Amino acid sequence: MDTSEMTSFVKVVQAGSFTKAAENTGKQKAYLSRVITKLEEQLGVRLLDRTTRSLSLTELGREVYERSLKVLEGIEDIELTAQRALGEPSGTLKISCGTEFGMIAVSNWIMGYLDKYKGVKVEADYTNRVADIVHEGVDIAIRLGELSDSNLVAKKLGELKYGLYAAQSYLATHTLPAHPVWLNQHQVIKFSGGSHSKPWSLQKDKEKIEITGDSKLKVNNVFVARDACINGFGVAKLPTIIAEPALKSGQIVQIFEDWEGPRTPAYAVYPSSRYMTPKVRKFIDHAAENFGSNW
């Protein structure tokens, strides 16, 4: 049994099916099946019980699996020792991030990272699905909002600030009230999912209010909300980083600047600090250094 066959066996067991293992590893399902069959023939034992829907380890298969993990961890320790000695990122870094924040921020981090470290490659998955980073082989996930309890490690990169914005064309036909509580009588552009679908919470000193407002438009994409705001469809609550270009160009203006809502934390999430390779550590450091102070 060589290490590549051992790795394939471990990946199949962790994925729970040949189909999922093929997706995670990029190898053909038929190839993985042949590897397992070859191992069983070499060892003279059945490693997996197969059905049309699932795989399960035999008693001997579990022992082989657990010992294989220890061998692979030992090899990884040796490789990490060598990499740490050099200190330079190498190999392929797999990143998962949300579509919107990925486009506006993570993409720039990736470009800067690749410019700085020539010996590394990046595979980035822009998705609003929460990736299973352990089973999908993801090195780092960039996530916004409070995290659920897990065995994963997280480093806080920074926080996103929000503001209220409107186009001059909207304000020309809708008088801006003296107090933001009266925005409840205005058109607001709402989000249709997630935490942002809740009423807008605002605070100034010790005064707290909530804005619900009327809405002809609900969307689940912050870029669409920004564009609707630019086109005068109502008041929008937007992350500063999303609103800034339109604000600078005069397409929108910020209103009630002295009122602030809750900020959204941004985290780099990864499987384990014990086996943090230079490619992972350097990217996290790069992201933290380049997280905008005025976002």
Q: List, as one string, the DSSP characters of 184-253.
A: GGSBEEEESSSGGGSPEEEEETTEEEEE--B-S-EES-HHHHHHHHHTTS-EEEEEHHHHHHHHHTTS-E
Tell me the whole-structure pTM to 2 decimals: 0.67
Token digits for 292? 């905008």
pLDDT for 252:
97
pLDDT for 222:
92
Give CA separation, 65 vs 52, 57, 73, 176, 253, in Å: 21, 8, 12, 66, 60
- Classify 182 as helix, strand or coil: helix
What is the distance between the alpha carbons of residues 59 and 267, in angstroms, rounded to a whole number? 40
Average pLDDT of every residue of the chain: 88
Which tens digit of pLDDT belongs to each residue from 122-137? 999 999 888 888 888 8
pLDDT above 70 as % of the chain = 95
Which CATH number describes the domain made up of 87-159+264-289?
Answer: 3.40.190.10
The alpha-helical segments, DSSP class H, found in the chain are: 3-15, 18-25, 29-43, 59-86, 99-101, 107-116, 168-173, 222-230, 240-248, 278-289
What is the mean predicted confidence (pLDDT) over 44-62?
87
How do the domains of the chain map onto residue ranges? 3-85, 87-159+264-289, 162-255
Within this chain, domains 87-159+264-289 and 162-255 share the same CATH topology? yes
CATH class of 3-85: mainly alpha
User: Are 167 and 229 in contact, with CB atoms under 8 Å apart?
Assistant: yes
Confidence of residue 94 (pLDDT cuts 50, 70, 90): very high
Confidence of residue 265 (pLDDT cuts 50, 70, 90): very high
What is the mean predicted confidence (pLDDT) over 211-229?
90
Computed on alpha carbons and rounded to an integer, the radius of gyration of the chain in Å comes to 25
Classify domain 162-255 at the CATH topology level: D-Maltodextrin-Binding Protein; domain 2 (3.40.190)
pLDDT for 197:
60
pLDDT for 267:
94
- pLDDT of 25 > 90? The answer is no
Confidence of residue 194 (pLDDT cuts 50, 70, 90): low
What is the distance between the alpha carbons of residues 132 and 143, in angstroms, rounded to a whole number? 12
Edge to edge, the sheet with strand 140-144 lists 120-126, 91-97, 140-144, 264-270, 153-160
The partner residues of 126 in beta bridges, in order of sequence, read 97
**When comparing pLDDT for 114 and 74, which is higher?**
114
pLDDT for 277:
83
Token digits for 107? 């993409």
Confidence of residue 112 (pLDDT cuts 50, 70, 90): very high
